[in-house]
């Protein structure tokens, strides 16, 4: 009993000797570098128990502490002389007994804001340098001489990405500048010609998120309406705000076309060359975000007819205003999904003095037109288990598009004067896939009697299946069993009306198109650990049913064989063979195409790679009208390494490449023959400094 009492006394003394931390004024909270640290203790240790030591990060700050005892026992650190370490570190409190190891009493996280008051700060510079050169060249026959025989050009990319956060504030930024020693390759050579700077701003973006609000300036992307404004990316400003749960509002204003360079930095200098838009989105099912969303969009755009250096087009001024609605959602299981969009766009070409050149032009009347888009999908079967690891999925899809004859939006591509409907079925049974689709479309929706109406009907089938399943195997017994793929399509395009021959110029049935194109493609693929083989045969038939051209038919048969061999960990070979026959029934002429090629890559040392390829394509016909023979060859030696610099390793690549092209063309019908042959030796280098 005396022994038990002595043991209990020792435990009581040990418990009394423990010093506990009761509270701190830091921990999960972010501090400034000059804030005071306060650590409250239940008591201070007795002199006989040892001394306290406090480490902030890896620094012993015990001499800087103010120590208080009694009921307010604790430690206070005033960091005027030694600012707190920025970033995330730890505060560790020790009890040091005489002649004994340090005893850890508490370990607490410390978070100190970075310069500027940020809690996290990332800055990643980007500096890439490239060199491309031509060491030698030669040309023979009818090959035109190059602009430059030999050259050594330098190009580079300078930029950075950054990210800074504090509480609910996040700032992200990026910038890229592109430079070239060749002015013709400068970013704005098409705009400024010989005055284009060789180093110029390509793009930049600054994004600021604060709570429910966000703002972006630079090369922004805006638009979620497929008929009005859809993912347009130009230089400008974008802002969004969520005033309440399930509601979001966004606005944007950007330059009318994509721009680069330091001029018009914000992209908002010209109101006459601008695309502005706003949208409001509402989650109609607050309990299930994404279940049913309604979004309204308004757009106001004006595009000037800007002429640039060496641009082969005559642009036209445009103004465009539009309003659209988009409703999307799904049921709770996700089996039924839908997306419906509708838009009204008001478009016109205003009077453009640059285009008119002093003449009086017929005014284009302003008008409003409608467009709509619908997508529906329903999973008839969803992961239905038919056996062990055998599941079946079947889904139906419907797509409907219609746009009025003169519908146009400057910020979205929509095919005007067209209505299209597509119905699809997709099924997956284990490793067997099936896809069916039927589509029909027509134009001239207003049925104007002097304009041709074209109707299109298209059907397609696609099947994929591993052939070992036909033998009753659930898993492939051998790599000799290939995977089969089969595709069939049939498209019938024909006239839907007979325009008045006097008013339209159509000559009755002989000018009315009527054509059926049918295609079959069969493929077999073998895959093993170190090799693969693929064979594909395609048959295409073009049946022209137009009055007066019923014999203008074509039959095309092509064979393709491709193989890939990984002979070792360092040596890889690939080869391909192709054969095609195209029969022109109207001319009673059959053309044949034969081609083959090989590729090789050998990493004979860890940092050295040699690669090469050769291809030959020949064409002729059964009546000896023409012959063509095209040969290409190239060989390259490359070296990849990392260069030590300032304690870092910089990725570095250099290569030397030989390339040859030889083309022979003979037209026996007209007695014409041509031969062009060129070869070059090029070099290149790339270095990433960051």
Among 114-118, 194-198, 371-375, 426-430, the range scoring the smallest mean pLDDT is: 114-118
Degrees, nearest 5: CA angle 105-106-110: 150
* 420 touches 398 (CB < 8 A): no
Average pLDDT (169-177) is 96
**DSSP, residue by residue, 584-638:** ETTTTEEEEEEEEEEEEEEEEETTEEEEEEEEEEEEEETT--EEEEEEEEEEEEE
Integer Cα distance of 150 and 677 in angstroms: 18
Per-residue pLDDT tens over the stretch 207-252: 999 999 999 999 999 999 999 999 999 999 999 999 999 999 999 9
* 381 touches 363 (CB < 8 A): no
Integer Cα distance of 120 and 88 in angstroms: 9
Integer Cα distance of 435 and 464 in angstroms: 9
Q: For residue 190, what pLDDT band results from cuts at 50, 70 and 90?
A: confident
pLDDT number for residue 356? 59
Strand 454-466 vs strand 432-443: parallel, antiparallel, or unpaired? Answer: antiparallel
pLDDT number for residue 352? 65
Integer Cα distance of 630 and 559 in angstroms: 19
Instruction: State whether the Cα torsion 440-441-447-448 is positive or negative.
Output: negative
Per-residue pLDDT tens over the stretch 85-130: 998 999 999 999 877 788 899 999 999 999 888 988 999 999 999 9
The terminus-to-terminus CA distance of the chain in angstroms comes to 74
pLDDT number for residue 355? 62
Q: For residue 9, what pLDDT band results from cuts at 50, 70 and 90?
A: very low
Higher-confidence residue of 460 and 545: namely 460
Q: For residue 646, what pLDDT band results from cuts at 50, 70 and 90?
A: confident
% pLDDT > 90, the chain: 67
Q: For residue 315, what pLDDT band results from cuts at 50, 70 and 90?
A: low
- Backbone phi and psi for residue 275, each to the nearest 5 degrees, phi listed first: -125, 115
- Which secondary structure element, helix H or strand E, spans residue 7, and what is its range? helix 2-17
Q: What is the pTM (predicted TM-score) of this model?
A: 0.83
Cα dist from 267 to 191, 217, 218, 236, 276, whole Å: 16, 9, 8, 5, 12
Instruction: State whether the Cα torsion 545-546-551-556 is positive or negative.
Output: negative
Q: Which two tokens stand for residue 183?
A: 């002015």
Reply yes or no on whether the pLDDT at 616 is more than 80: yes
Average pLDDT (526-534) is 91
Per-residue pLDDT tens over the stretch 24-65: 999 888 999 889 999 999 989 888 888 899 999 889 999 989
Cα dist from 283 to 124, 295, 343, 476, whole Å: 37, 9, 20, 48
pLDDT number for residue 546? 86
Among 1-10, 203-212, 375-384, the range scoring the smallest mean pLDDT is: 1-10
pLDDT number for residue 476? 58
**DSSP, residue by residue, 149-173:** SSEEEEEEEEEEEEEEEETTEEEEE
pLDDT number for residue 11? 37
Strand 102-112 vs strand 30-31: parallel, antiparallel, or unpaired? Answer: parallel
Q: For residue 366, what pLDDT band results from cuts at 50, 70 and 90?
A: confident
- Backbone phi and psi for residue 10, each to the nearest 5 degrees, phi listed first: -65, -45
pLDDT number for residue 108? 93
Integer Cα distance of 205 and 163 in angstroms: 12
pLDDT number for residue 488? 98
pLDDT number for residue 568? 93
| Average pLDDT along the chain | 90
pLDDT number for residue 255? 95
Length of the chain measured in residues: 690
Among 21-35, 190-204, 295-309, the range scoring the smallest mean pLDDT is: 295-309
Q: Which two tokens stand for residue 93?
A: 């409190």
% pLDDT > 70, the chain: 93
pLDDT number for residue 359? 67
Q: For residue 8, what pLDDT band results from cuts at 50, 70 and 90?
A: very low
Nearest to 561 by CA among 576, 547, 551: 576
* 525 touches 532 (CB < 8 A): yes
Q: Which CATH class is domain 17-113?
A: mainly beta
Integer Cα distance of 586 and 322 in angstroms: 50
* 268 touches 237 (CB < 8 A): yes
Reply yes or no on whether the pLDDT at 449 is more than 50: yes
Integer Cα distance of 260 and 292 in angstroms: 39
pLDDT number for residue 361? 66
Place of tokens 């930095």: 265
Nearest to 418 by CA among 450, 368, 375, 453: 453
253-260 contacts at long range (C-beta below 8 A, 24 or more positions apart): 254/220, 254/222, 256/301, 256/302, 256/303, 256/304, 256/410, 257/303, 257/306, 258/233, 258/234, 259/234, 259/235, 260/187, 260/188, 260/200, 260/201, 260/202, 260/203
pLDDT number for residue 501? 78
Reply yes or no on whether the pLDDT at 291 is more than 90: yes
Higher-confidence residue of 235 and 365: namely 235
How many other CB atoms sit within 10 Å of the CB of residue 124?
11
Q: Which two tokens stand for residue 456?
A: 């299109």
Reply yes or no on whether the pLDDT at 586 is more than 90: no
pLDDT number for residue 15? 43
Give the sheet arrangement for strand 74-77, strand by strand.
21-24, 37-41, 74-77, 65-68
Per-residue pLDDT tens over the stretch 488-516: 999 999 998 888 877 777 776 677 889 99
Q: Which two tokens stand for residue 564?
A: 């890939």
């Amino acid at each position: 009993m005396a022994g038990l009492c002595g043991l209990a006394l020792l435990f009581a003394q040990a418990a009394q000797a423990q010093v506990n931390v009761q509270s701190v004024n830091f921990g999960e909270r972010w501090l400034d570098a000059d804030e005071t640290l306060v650590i409250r203790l239940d008591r201070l240790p007795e002199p006989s128990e040892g001394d306290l030591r406090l480490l902030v990060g890896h620094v012993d700050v015990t001499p800087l502490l103010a120590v208080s005892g009694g009921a307010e026992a604790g430690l206070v650190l005033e960091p005027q002389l030694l600012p707190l370490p920025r970033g995330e570190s730890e505060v560790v409190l020790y009890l040091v007994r005489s002649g004994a190891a340090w005893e850890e009493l508490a370990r607490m996280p410390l978070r100190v804001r970075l310069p500027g008051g940020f809690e996290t700060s990332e800055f990643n510079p980007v500096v890439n340098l490239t060199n491309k050169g031509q060491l030698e060249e030669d040309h023979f026959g009818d090959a035109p001489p190059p602009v430059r025989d030999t050259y050594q050009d330098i190009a580079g990319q300078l930029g950075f990405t950054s990210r800074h956060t504090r509480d609910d504030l996040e700032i992200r930024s990026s910038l890229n500048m592109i430079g070239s020693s060749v002015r013709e390759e400068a970013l704005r050579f098409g705009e400024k010609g010989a005055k284009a700077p060789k180093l110029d701003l390509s793009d930049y973006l600054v994004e600021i998120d604060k709570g429910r609000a966000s703002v972006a300036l630079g090369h922004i992307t805006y638009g979620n309406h497929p008929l009005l404004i859809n993912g347009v990316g130009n230089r400008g400003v974008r802002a969004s705000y969520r005033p309440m749960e399930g509601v979001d509002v966004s606005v944007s204003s950007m330059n009318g076309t994509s721009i680069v360079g330091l001029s018009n930095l914000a992209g908002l200098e010209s109101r006459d060359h601008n695309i502005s838009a706003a949208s409001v989105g509402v989650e109609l099912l607050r309990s299930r975000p994404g279940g049913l969303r309604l979004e309204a969009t308004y757009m106001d755009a004006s595009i000037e007819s800007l002429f640039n250096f060496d641009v082969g087009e005559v642009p036209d001024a445009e103004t465009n205003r539009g309003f659209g609605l988009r409703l999307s959602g799904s049921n709770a299981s996700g089996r039924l999904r839908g997306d419906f969009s509708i838009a009204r766009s008001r478009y016109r070409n205003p009077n453009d003095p640059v285009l008119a050149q002093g003449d009086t032009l017929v005014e284009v009347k302003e008008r409003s037109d409608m467009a709509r888009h619908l997508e529906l999908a329903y999973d008839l079967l969803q992961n239905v288990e038919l056996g062990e690891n055998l599941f079946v999925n079947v889904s139906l899809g419907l797509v409907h598009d219609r746009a009025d004859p003169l519908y146009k939006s400057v910020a979205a591509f929509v095919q005007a004067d067209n209505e299209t409907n597509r119905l699809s079925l997709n099924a997956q049974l284990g490793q067997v896939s099936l896809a069916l689709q039927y589509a029909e479309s027509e134009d001239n929706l207003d049925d104007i009697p002097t304009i041709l109406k074209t109707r299109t009907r298209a059907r397609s089938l696609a099947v994929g299946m591993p052939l070992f399943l036909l033998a009753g195997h659930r898993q492939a017994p051998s790599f000799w069993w290939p995977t089969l793929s089969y595709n069939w399509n049939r498209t019938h395009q024909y006239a839907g009306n007979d325009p008045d021959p006097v008013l339209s110029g159509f000559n009755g049935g002989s000018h009315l198109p009527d054509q059926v194109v049918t295609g079959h493609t069969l493929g077999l693929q073998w895959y093993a650990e170190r090799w693969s083989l693929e064979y594909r045969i395609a048959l295409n038939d073009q049946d022209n049913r137009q009055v007066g051209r019923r014999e203008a038919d074509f039959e095309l048969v092509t064979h393709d064989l491709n193989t890939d061999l990984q002979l070792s960990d360092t040596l890889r070979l690939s080869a391909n063979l192709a054969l095609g026959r195209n029969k022109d029934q109207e001319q009673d002429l059959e053309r044949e195409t034969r081609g083959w090629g090989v590729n090789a890559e050998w990493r004979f040392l860890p940092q050295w790679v040699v690669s090469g390829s050769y291809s030959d394509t020949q064409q002729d016909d059964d009546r000896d009208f023409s012959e063509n023979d095209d040969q290409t060859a190239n060989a390259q030696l490359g070296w990849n390494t990392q260069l030590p610099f300032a304690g870092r390793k910089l990725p570095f690549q250099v290569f030397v490449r030989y390339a040859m092209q030889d083309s022979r063309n003979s037209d026996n019908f007209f007695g014409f023959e041509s031969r062009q042959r060129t070869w070059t030796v090029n070099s290149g280098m790339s270095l990433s400094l960051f």
